Amino acid sequence: MPVFHGDCLSTQSPIPTESIECPLCLGEGKFKRTALLDRLGVKDFARVAQLSAEEAFRLLLSKHKDDERTVWARFEAELTKRTAEISQRHKDEIHTLTARTKELETAARTTEQQKAHDIEHVNRRVEDSLRQVAELQQRNQELESQMSKVAPVESWKNLALKMRCRPGRACDVREREATQEWRLPIGLP
């Protein structure tokens, strides 16, 4: 397991594990430091401290990984929640816009139908007016032809009236009215 030495990470232990001369056997045998301390019944505080530090570091890394997993889980839960909210808002907006679009389409269809109905009504009125104009023109022609037959009679009546009411002769109002009331039947010369 890697161990920190100062500012750098190393795989070597800071505790001297090299062999040392045994004070009991006056250098005849070679023991490791841990074996010698175990025979003497003395605890190796440096080794205990190193193992405690390694265990603390392992626990710290484990806690850090658990915290990181917890943070990511909360992040994913929040992300899922917000994504669902946005998705729901989007669906609601789409539903609202779809309903509004249908309303506008219905209104447009109704307007088009009303417009077509109005155009049809106007066309009928124009046709009726044109038919009336044609009838009136025909009637006017008939009246003009009858008037052309009556015109000579009217000029004759005016002449008769002038003759009766000459400047030297006194003309009675009743005579004038009688002359104006006198009419020849239509069609007679």
d(CA 157, CA 42) in angstroms, rounded, equals 167
Give how far Cα 157 sits from Cα of 76, 149, 162, 176, Å.
Answer: 115, 14, 9, 10
DSSP state of 184: P
| pLDDT tens digits, one per residue of 10-58 | 555 555 445 555 555 565 666 666 666 666 666 667 777 778 888 889 9
Q: What is the pLDDT of residues 51-94, one digit of tens each?
A: 888 888 999 999 999 999 999 999 999 999 999 999 999 999 99
């045998």: which residue's tokens? 29
pTM passes above 0.75: no
Measured distance CA(70)–CA(127) in Å, rounded: 84
